[in-house]
Structure formats: C-alpha cells, structure tokens
C-alpha cells in the first residue's frame, strides 16, 4: 500500500572474499564488492569514486578499525567508526562499537550501536579516497 514502495534489494557482486578462518593485519583497500567472514585488524576502505562498492560483514566476521565505504551491510562486529556515503544496513547480529556516519540507514531489531548515529545528508562530507602521503619536504 502506502509504505511498500521499496525497491527490490539487489544482490551485490562479490569481487573479494576474506574467509572465515582468515585474519588480516593491516588496511584493506578495495573496489567493487568485499565480503568478510574472517577477521580484519586494520581499516577497510573503498578506493576511488565508485559509488557501487559494497562491504558485507557476515555474522562470523569482525573488523577492528575504521570503515569508509559507500555501502555497508553489517551482521558481525566492528570496533571502530563506520563512514558510509550512501547506505548502511545493520542486520540483527550487527554489533558496532563506535560511531556510525550515514546518509541512509536500515536497522533490524537486535542490532547494536555502542556509539553515536550521525546523519550526514551531504554525500561530500565523508571522503573515502585513499590518502596519499607526500614525500616532498618544504624548506
């Protein structure tokens, strides 16, 4: 009726997979779709201007670090801030220990956020570009 005008959910393509028994120490920088079943101890960043990049964190997955992606589906645990340009989906098993910066958010019953929910309607507020270090010294 009135409230059922949702678009059908599109399945994200998985370009990279971090398996259930895998632990990564360091930053993960990706484009496209990343699915995490394992553990990442570092930041997870979608590189470039691709607005279709999606991070999916399963109920078995954990991330200890900052997440900066356009779209994220969380059903596991994140210890760090989450910055999403477009869409955040918090499934029933989601546990976020940090702030969530979002433009659009969906939250299932049972999901937990131990931090602030910060609405950012302006998509240019969050920069998801990889920061390049300059080696030029000024005199």
Residue 122 banded pLDDT, cuts 50, 70, 90: low
**DSSP of 65-124:** S-EEEEEEEESSEEES-EEEEEEEEE-TT-EEES-EEESEEEE-TT-EESS-EEE--STT
Beta bridge partners of 113: 96
Residue 128 has pLDDT above 60, yes or no: no
Task: Kindly report, residue by residue over 52-96, the tens digit of the pLDDT.
Answer: 899 999 999 999 999 999 999 999 999 999 999 999 999 999 999
Cβ neighbours, 10 Å, residue 86: 17
Select the more confidently predicted residue: 34 or 3: 34
């Amino acid at each position: 009726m009135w409230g059922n005008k949702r678009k059908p959910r599109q399945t994200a393509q998985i370009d990279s997979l971090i398996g259930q028994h895998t632990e990564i120490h360091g930053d993960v920088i990706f484009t496209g779709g990343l699915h995490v079943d394992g553990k990442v101890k570092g930041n997870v960043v979608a590189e470039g201007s691709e607005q279709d990049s999606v991070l999916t964190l399963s109920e078995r997955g954990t991330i200890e670090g900052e997440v900066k992606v356009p779209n994220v589906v969380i059903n596991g645990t994140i210890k760090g801030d989450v910055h999403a340009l477009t869409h955040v989906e918090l499934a029933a098993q989601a546990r976020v220990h940090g702030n969530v910066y979002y433009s659009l958010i969906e939250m299932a019953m049972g999901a937990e956020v131990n931090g602030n929910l910060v609405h950012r309607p302006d998509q240019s507020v969050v920069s998801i570009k990889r920061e390049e270090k300059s080696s030029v010294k000024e005199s």
